[in-house]
Amino acid sequence: MKNVLVFKTSVTGESEVKRLKPLLNRLVNQHDYWNFDLEDCDNILRVETQSLSAPVISSLLHKSGFSCEELH
């Protein structure tokens, strides 16, 4: 069963998404999915995953220089 994790981020542009794409793609497995909604005021990152936890995703973005906070 997939979990849907939603994060408020400081990612604001497509160039930043392109920079994160290879990192996120390595993190998720072939059945997982992620996307950014940069039209939303919170610059939402949504991850559908079977195996990842919110702290793992937050840590990846923090190490890449972005803020990332799970929304409940």
Query: Domains of the chain, with CATH numbers?
Result: 3-71 (3.30.70.100)
Single out the residue of 55, 59, 61, 65 nearest to residue 36, CA to CA. Answer: 61
Q: Residue 29: what pLDDT?
A: 86
The model's confidence at residue 51, banded by pLDDT at 50, 70 and 90, is: confident
Q: Kindly report, residue by residue over 14-44, the tens digit of the pLDDT.
A: 999 999 999 999 999 888 999 999 999 999 9
Rounded Cα distance, 47 and 35, in Å: 7
| Confidence (pTM) | 0.93
